[in-house]
């Protein structure tokens, strides 16, 4: 699933390419909606000029004056920019199209976990925000028995973190992913906060992670490069030189990779 750096990469491309363009058409093919908005709320965007694209966590919002449209990529969703007009033909896995003056934005979603429309959910602070402090982590995680990795991926705790960047941050801070969050010491939380800031900023600088053929690409089909710099995610041997292990039990429905020497 695209995480904050991938979604931020998409946002920057779309904001640069589409801000100031007028929306000329909307083509609904087979999208999945958070709450099915009435057609009038969607078609009310036609004729509006895009102000910008904003991001909160892993969610994008097309902003056109007082109106906005929330987009979520889900597991395999992609937003693709093309010069071809919207609605001229059926395209496999294309769920939604927005036509602009000179551009079309297409929403492809093979697995149909992506979403169009609806309100934004409740989020914790952004990983790069000033309010993600060691004090915030200490207060939020105090007394929590859930594993630290599960809570890092909880969007109500921190917005935008997922499996890749949580795995990397925990390795860099030397914290085992299965440790109860409430048992982590203040100094460790400070290291963790710094590690989160580092991996997220690096992920944004390197324009996200592209791990396989179905993975993230930006709206012009360009891959990210963070996967070339990961310390343990997707590797058998960590950057530390030790053989990596997986937790016996899944965390947040996924196996968790860690270094048994660095993350005890």
pLDDT for the residue numbered 42: 75
Q: What is the pLDDT of residues 74-106, one digit of tens each?
A: 888 999 999 998 876 778 888 889 999 999 999
33 pLDDT above the threshold of 70: no
**CATH 3.20.190.10 residue ranges in the chain?**
4-116
**How many whole angstroms separate alpha carbon 76 and alpha carbon 211?**
12
57: exposed, middle or buried (Cβ count in 10 Å: 0-12, 13-18, 19+) = buried
Of the residues 11, 55, 58, 78, which is catalytic?
A: 58
Question: Is 2 one of the catalytic residues?
Answer: yes
CATH number of 4-116: 3.20.190.10
41 pLDDT above the threshold of 80: no
Angle among Cα 168, 174, 176 to the nearest 5 degrees reads 80
Question: Is 121 one of the catalytic residues?
Answer: no
Could you say which of 3.40.50.920, 3.30.413.10, 1.10.8.50, 1.20.120.80 is the CATH number of the domain covering 134-258?
1.10.8.50
Q: What is the pLDDT of residues 207-255, one digit of tens each?
A: 999 987 567 999 999 999 999 999 999 999 999 999 999 998 889 888 8
Question: Is 39 one of the catalytic residues?
Answer: no
Question: Is 130 one of the catalytic residues?
Answer: no
What global pTM score does this model have?
0.94
Of the residues 3, 6, 8, 97, which is catalytic?
A: 3
pLDDT for the residue numbered 4: 98
Q: What is the pLDDT of residues 159-205, one digit of tens each?
A: 999 999 999 999 999 999 999 999 999 999 999 999 999 999 999 99
**CATH 1.10.8.50 residue ranges in the chain?**
134-258
């Amino acid at each position: 699933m695209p995480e904050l750096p991938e979604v931020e990469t998409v946002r920057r491309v779309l904001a640069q390419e589409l801000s100031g363009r007028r929306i000329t058409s909307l083509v609904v093919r087979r999208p999945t909606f958070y709450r099915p908005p009435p057609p009038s709320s969607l078609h009310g965007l036609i004729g509006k000029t895009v102000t910008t694209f904003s991001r909160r966590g892993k969610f994008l919002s097309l902003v056109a004056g007082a109106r906005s449209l929330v987009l979520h990529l889900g597991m395999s969703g992609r937003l693709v920019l093309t010069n071809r007009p919207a609605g001229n033909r059926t395209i496999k896995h294309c769920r939604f199209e927005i036509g602009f003056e000179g551009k079309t934005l297409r929403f492809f979603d093979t697995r149909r976990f992506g979403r169009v429309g609806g309100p934004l959910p409740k989020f914790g602070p952004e990983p790069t925000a000033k309010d993600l402090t060691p004090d915030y982590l200490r207060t939020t995680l105090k007394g929590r028995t859930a594993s630290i990795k599960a809570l890092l991926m909880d969007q109500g705790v921190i917005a935008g973190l997922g499996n890749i960047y949580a795995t990397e941050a925990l390795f860099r801070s030397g914290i085992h992913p299965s440790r109860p969050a409430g048992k982590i010491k203040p100094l460790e939380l400070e290291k963790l906060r710094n590690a989160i800031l580092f991996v997220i900023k690096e992920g944004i600088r390197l324009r996200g992670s592209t791990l396989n053929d179905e993975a993230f690409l930006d709206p012009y089909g360009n891959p990210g490069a963070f996967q070339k710099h990961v310390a343990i995610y997707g590797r058998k041997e960590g950057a530390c030189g030790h053989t990596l292990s997986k937790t016996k039990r899944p965390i947040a429905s996924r196996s968790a990779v860690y270094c048994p020497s660095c993350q005890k």
